[in-house]
C-alpha cells in the first residue's frame, strides 16, 4: 500500500483522483484529504429530496455526487475524509468494519470510546463522528469515510434535509442531534488530528511509500473530472415519475419512481442510500416491459446481486404496492 498525499480541497478533483487509482492502476492506496464546504450526495440518492438547494446556492457550497452509495455527507476544512483503494476481498463478510478498523484503533488510542456500529458508522459514545461508504468496480473497491473533527453546524444542518423516514428506528430526529465533533474529545487542531490519523494508518499498514500524485497521474485523472460535476454550477438533476414510494430497510432507504403503461414497466428508477454490489442499469434494463403483476415469473436477475441486503420478495412486494397505490 502507498500513501498518496493529496493537498487539493476541490471535491471534483479529489473524487476524480480516487477514480483514477481505482480504475487505471492496481495499486493499494491510502489517502486523507479535505474539501471546501461541500455536500457529497450518494450515488443513488434523489438530490432534490436530500439537499436544500436554495441554501447551498446562497452559501456558494459545492454539491457533488460521489461514486459510492450511502447517504449525504457534509464536508469543510474543519474536518477530513480518508480513502482506501485496493483489490476486493469478497471472503471478508464485513468489509466496512475491516477498512474502518485502523481508524477506530487510532481513536481508541486517544482514550475515546470509539466503535464501528450499524452498517457504516463510527461512533464516539452515542455520537456519530464518521460515515463510511464503498464503491466496487470489477475486482477493485473504494472505501472512504468522513472524520467529523469540527464543522460549520449552520452549513451542515442547513444544507441537508432531515427526512423523517430516515429516523425510523433511531432515537434522533435531526442531523445536529445525531452527530458529534471529535474536537470536543481531544486537545489538538484539525491539522494535528489529520497528521495523527495518517501516521497511525501508515504504521498499521506498514506503508513505506509516501508521495504526492505524479504529473502523469494528474494528467490521467482529468478524464474523470466530468464524472463529478458541481451541481451548484451546472444545475440540479431532477427526478419526476408518475408514481413514487419510499421504504426504510435495515440496509438503507429505498425509493422508487415508476412510470407504467398497460400494467407494464415503462421506466423504473431506484434511488436511496443503500450500497451496491454492481451497477443497477443491467437489472433495470432487464425489467422494462415486464408485466408488474407477474414480475416474479419474469425476473432474470437477483436484486441482491445489485442492492446489498435486498431480496427479490422485498423488491416484488414494494413494486406491486407502488403500482396498486397501496
Nearest Cα to 194, choosing from 44, 288, 81, 315? 81
Q: What percentage of residues in the chain have a pLDDT greater than 90?
A: 83
Binned at pLDDT 50, 70 and 90, residue 171 comes out as very low
Enter the C-alpha cell of residue 196: 495523527
**What is the value of pTM for the model shown?**
0.88
**Residue 129: what pLDDT?**
95
pLDDT-derived band of residue 178, with 50, 70 and 90 as boundaries? confident
Looking at residue 179, what is its pLDDT?
83
Residue 170: band (very low, low, confident or very high) from pLDDT cuts 50, 70, 90 = very low
Cell of 310: 435486498
Query: What is the band of 231 on the pLDDT scale with cuts at 50, 70, 90?
Result: confident
Which residues are CB-neighbours of 74 under 8 A, at least 6 positions away? 38, 39, 40, 151, 155, 156, 159, 160
- Secondary structure (DSSP) of 2-25: EEE------HHHHHHHHHHHHHH-
Domains of the chain from N-terminus onward: 2-234 (3.30.930.10), 243-324 (3.30.390.50)
CA separation for the pair 271, 288 (Å, rounded): 17
Q: Which residue has the higher pLDDT, 39 or 231?
A: 39
pLDDT at 12 over 80: yes
Read off the C-alpha cell for 314: 422485498
Average pLDDT over residues 247-270: 94
Tens of pLDDT, residue by residue over 69-126, are 999 999 999 999 999 999 988 777 688 999 999 999 999 999 999 999 988 999 999 9
Which band of pLDDT confidence, cut at 50, 70 and 90, is reported for residue 234?
Answer: confident
What CA–CA distance (Å, rounded) separates 75 from 10?
A: 11
Count how many residues are written for the chain. 326
Q: Could you give the dihedral angle defined by the CA atoms of residues 223, 226, 230 and 233, in that order, rounded to the nearest 10 degrees?
A: 110
What pLDDT, on a 0 to 100 scale, did the predictor assign at position 88?
Answer: 87
Residue 175 has pLDDT above 60, yes or no: no
Mean pLDDT for all residues in the chain: 91
Place of cell 414480475: 295
* Per-residue CA distances from 290 to 75, 142, 264, 287, 317 (Å): 42, 34, 5, 5, 15
Amino acid at each position: 500500500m502507498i500513501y498518496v498525499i493529496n493537498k487539493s480541497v476541490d471535491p471534483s478533483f479529489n473524487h476524480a483522483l480516487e477514480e483514477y487509482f481505482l480504475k487505471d492502476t492496481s495499486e493499494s492506496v491510502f489517502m486523507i484529504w479535505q474539501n471546501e464546504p461541500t455536500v457529497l450526495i450518494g450515488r443513488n440518492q434523489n438530490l432534490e429530496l436530500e439537499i436544500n438547494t436554495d441554501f447551498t446556492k446562497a452559501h456558494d457550497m459545492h454539491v457533488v455526487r460521489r461514486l459510492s452509495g450511502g447517504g449525504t455527507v457534509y464536508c469543510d476544512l474543519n474536518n477530513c475524509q480518508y480513502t482506501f483503494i485496493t483489490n476486493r476481498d469478497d471472503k471478508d463478510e464485513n468489509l466496512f468494519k475491516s477498512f474502518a478498523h485502523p481508524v477506530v484503533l487510532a481513536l481508541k488510542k486517544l482514550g475515546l470510546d470509539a466503535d464501528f456500529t450499524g452498517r457504516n458508522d463510527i461512533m464516539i459514545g452515542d455520537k456519530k463522528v464518521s460515515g463510511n461508504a464503498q464503491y466496487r468496480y470489477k475486482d477493485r473497491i473504494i472505501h472512504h469515510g468522513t472524520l467529523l473533527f469540527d464543522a460549520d453546524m449552520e452549513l451542515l444542518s442547513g444544507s441537508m434535509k432531515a427526512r423523517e423516514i430516515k429516523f425510523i428506528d433511531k432515537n434522533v430526529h435531526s442531523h445536529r442531534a445525531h452527530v458529534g465533533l471529535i474536537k470536543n474529545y481531544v486537545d489538538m487542531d484539525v491539522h494535528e488530528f489529520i497528521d495523527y490519523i495518517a501516521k497511525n494508518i501508515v504504521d498499521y499498514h506498514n506503508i513505506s511509500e509516501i508521495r504526492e500524485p505524479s504529473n502523469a497521474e494528474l494528467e490521467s485523472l482529468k478524464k474523470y473530472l466530468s464524472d463529478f460535476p458541481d451541481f451548484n454550477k451546472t444545475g440540479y438533476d431532477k427526478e419526476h415519475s408518475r408514481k413514487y414510494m419510499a421504504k426504510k430497510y435495515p440496509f438503507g432507504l429505498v425509493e422508487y419512481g415508476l412510470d407504467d403503461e398497460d400494467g407494464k414497466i415503462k421506466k423504473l428508477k431506484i434511488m436511496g442510500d443503500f450500497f451496491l454490489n454492481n451497477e443497477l442499469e443491467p437489472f433495470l434494463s432487464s425489467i422494462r416491459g415486464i408485466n408488474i403483476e407477474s414480475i416474479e415469473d419474469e425476473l432474470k436477475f437477483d436484486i441482491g446481486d445489485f442492492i446489498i441486503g435486498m431480496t427479490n420478495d422485498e423488491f416484488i412486494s414494494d413494486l406491486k404496492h407502488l403500482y396498486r397505490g397501496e
